[in-house]
C-alpha cells in the first residue's frame, strides 16, 4: 500500500460512531418488534461486534491490504476481481441511499420548494471536496463533529426530559409482538442496518497508526453507538408511543417537534436536521471512500483522489433514480436489508474468513506433520 495516510485509534473511534449514527438516529428501526424496537438493537449489537472482529482478524492477517486486495489473494483473481467490482457497486448504492434519505428529510422539513437535485448536489459537492483533501482530513473532522453531535444530543435529551413528554408505560409490554418478532427485527434488519455496514472500514484499517488498537477502538465505538441508538429509540417510543413511532417517517423529528417548555423553548427541529446532515455526510463520505479505494485498486489508479469526482457524480445520479418517492425508497430498503446487504456485509466476509481459517489449519497440520 503506497498511501502514507495515517489515522489514530481516537479518530477511528469517532468515525465509527458517526458512521453508525448516520441515518439510524432519525429513521425508525425494528418496526417488526413494535415497542420492543429498541431491544432489537441491543440484541443485534453483539453480532455486529463479532462481525467487526472478523474484519479485524482479516486485517491482521493482511495488514497492508484493503478488502479487494485480500479477496483476490484468498480466492484468486478470476473470482476476486469481479467480486471486488460488485463491492464498488454496493458501496456506491449504499452511499446513494444515505444521500436520498437526507434529501427527503430536508424537503419534508424546511426546503419543500427546493428541487431535491440541488439539495443532493450541495451535499455531494461537500463530500467530493473532503475526499479530494484526503482521508486524514476526513477523520480529523470526525473528531470535531462527534463532539458537536453528542452536545446536540445531550441538549435535546435534557429538553425532552424537562418538557415531561416521556411516558415509560409506552415501552410496555416490551415483547408485545412476541420474542420471535423482536428476533426477526434484530436479524436481519437492525443487524444489517447499521451494524453490519462497518465492512466499509476494511478500506480504512490499513491506514491505522497502531494496528493493535484497531480492535479496541472498533469494539468500544460499536458498543457505545449501539447503546446510544437503542436508548434514543426507546425515548422516541416512550414519547410518541409505538403506534406513532411506527407510522412516523422521521420519529426523532416528530418527537423533538412537540417539545414546548413554557411556550418559550420550542421548534427544536433544526437540531435534528443538523444531526442528520452531520451523520449522513460522514457515512456517505466513508461509503464513497470505500468505493474509491476498491476502484483505484482493481483499475490500478495510483492517485485515488482523482476518483472522487466520478464516484461522487455516480452517487448523485443514483440517489435521484433509485426511487420515485420516499415510501418506494423505504420498500426498496427493506428488500436491501433482506437480500443485498446480508450478502455483501455478512455472508461473503464470513465465507472469506472461513477459507482463511481453514487454510491456516491445513498449513499448521502440514508443518506439524513434517
The Cα–Cα gap between 301 and 295 comes to 8
Of residues 329 and 149, more confidence is placed in: 149
**pLDDT at residue 233, rounded to an integer:** 95
Q: Which three cell numbers stand for residue 185?
A: 427485527
Please give the full DSSP string across 161-175, using - where no structure is assigned.
HHHT---GGGG-STT
Contact present, 71 and 208 (Cβ < 8 Å): no
Q: Lowest-pLDDT range, 38-47, 121-130, 261-270?
A: 261-270
* DSSP assignment of 51-62: HHHHHHHHHHHS
Q: DSSP labels for 79-105?
A: HHHHHHHHHHHHHHHHHHHHHHHHHHH
SS3 assignment, position 302: coil
| Coil/strand/helix, residue 237 | helix
Measured between alpha carbons, how far is 152 from 157 in angstroms, rounded to an integer? 9
Instruction: Look at residues 282, 213, 279 and name the one whose alpha carbon lies nearest to residue 250.
Output: 279
With cell 458517526, the residue in question is 18
Considering the domain boundaries, does residue 230 fall inside one? yes
What confidence score (pLDDT) does residue 2 get? 53
Scan for cell 420471535, then name that residue.
Answer: 180
| Residue 175 clears pLDDT 90, i.e. is over it | no
Whether 153 maps to a domain, the answer reads yes
In the chain, how many domains are there? 1
- Position 245 in a domain: yes
Q: Which residues contact 86 (CB under 8 A, 6 or more apart)?
A: 344
Confidence of residue 3 (pLDDT cuts 50, 70, 90): low
Mean pLDDT (whole number) for 57-76: 95
pLDDT in tens, 87-96: 999 999 999 9
DSSP assignment of 251-288, as one string? HHHHHHHT-EETTTEE--HHHHHHHHHHHHHHHHHHHH
Other Cβ atoms less than 10 A from the Cβ of 368: the count is 7
Q: What was the pLDDT predicted at 268?
A: 83
Cell of 250: 422521521
Instruction: Kindly state whether residue 1 falls inside one of the protein's structural domains.
Output: no
Which of 84-88, 113-117, 249-253 ranks highest by mean pLDDT? 84-88
CATH number for the domain that contains residue 141 = 1.20.1740.10
CB 123 within 8 A of CB 280: yes
Least confident residue range of 103-107, 122-126, 127-131: 103-107
Q: Provide the percentage of residues in the chain whose pLDDT is more than 90.
A: 70
Domain hosting residue 114, numbered range: 9-369
Considering the domain boundaries, does residue 4 fall inside one?
no
Residue 3 lies in a domain: no
Amino acid at each position: 500500500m503506497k498511501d502514507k495516510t495515517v489515522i489514530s485509534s481516537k479518530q477511528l473511534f469517532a468515525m465509527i460512531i458517526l458512521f453508525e449514527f448516520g441515518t439510524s438516529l432519525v429513521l425508525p428501526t425494528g418496526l417488526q418488534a413494535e415497542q420492543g424496537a429498541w431491544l432489537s438493537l441491543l440484541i443485534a449489537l453483539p453480532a455486529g461486534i463479532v462481525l467487526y472482529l472478523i474484519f479485524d482478524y482479516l486485517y491482521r492477517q493482511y495488514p497492508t491490504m484493503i478488502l479487494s486486495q485480500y479477496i483476490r489473494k484468498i480466492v484468486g483473481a478470476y473470482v476476486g476481481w469481479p467480486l471486488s467490482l460488485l463491492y464498488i457497486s454496493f458501496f456506491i448504492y449504499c452511499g446513494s441511499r444515505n444521500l436520498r434519505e437526507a434529501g427527503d428529510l430536508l424537503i419534508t422539513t424546511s426546503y419543500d420548494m427546493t428541487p431535491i437535485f440541488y439539495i443532493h448536489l450541495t451535499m455531494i459537492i461537500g463530500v467530493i471536496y473532503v475526499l479530494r483533501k484526503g482521508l486524514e482530513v476526513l477523520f480529523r473532522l470526525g473528531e470535531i463533529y462527534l463532539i458537536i453531535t453528542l452536545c446536540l444530543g445531550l441538549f435535546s435529551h435534557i429538553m425532552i426530559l424537562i418538557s415531561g413528554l416521556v411516558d415509560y408505560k409506552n415501552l410496555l409490554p416490551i415483547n408485545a409482538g412476541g420474542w420471535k418478532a423482536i428476533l426477526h427485527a434484530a436479524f436481519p434488519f437492525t443487524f444489517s442496518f447499521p451494524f453490519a455496514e462497518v465492512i466499509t472500514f476494511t478500506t480504512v484499517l490499513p491506514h491505522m497508526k497502531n494496528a493493535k488498537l484497531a480492535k479496541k477502538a472498533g469494539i468500544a465505538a460499536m458498543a457505545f453507538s449501539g447503546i446510544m441508538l437503542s436508548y434514543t429509540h426507546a425515548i422516541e417510543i416512550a414519547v410518541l408511543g409505538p403506534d406513532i413511532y411506527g407510522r412516523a417517517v422521521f420519529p426523532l423529528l416528530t418527537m423533538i417537534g412537540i417539545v414546548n417548555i413554557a411556550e418559550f423553548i420550542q421548534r427544536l427541529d433544526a437540531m435534528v436536521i443538523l444531526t442528520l446532515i452531520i451523520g449522513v455526510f460522514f457515512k456517505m463520505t466513508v461509503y464513497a471512500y470505500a468505493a474509491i479505494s476498491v476502484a483505484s485498486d482493481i483499475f490500478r489508479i495510483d492517485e485515488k483522489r482523482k476518483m472522487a469526482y466520478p464516484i461522487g457524480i455516480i452517487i448523485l445520479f443514483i440517489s435521484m433514480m433509485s426511487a420515485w418517492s420516499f415510501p418506494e425508497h423505504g420498500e426498496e430498503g427493506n428488500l436491501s436489508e433482506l437480500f443485498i446487504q446480508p450478502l455483501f456485509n455478512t455472508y461473503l466476509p464470513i465465507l472469506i474468513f472461513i477459507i482463511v481459517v481453514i487454510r491456516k489449519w491445513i498449513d499448521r497440520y502440514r508443518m506439524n506433520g513434517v
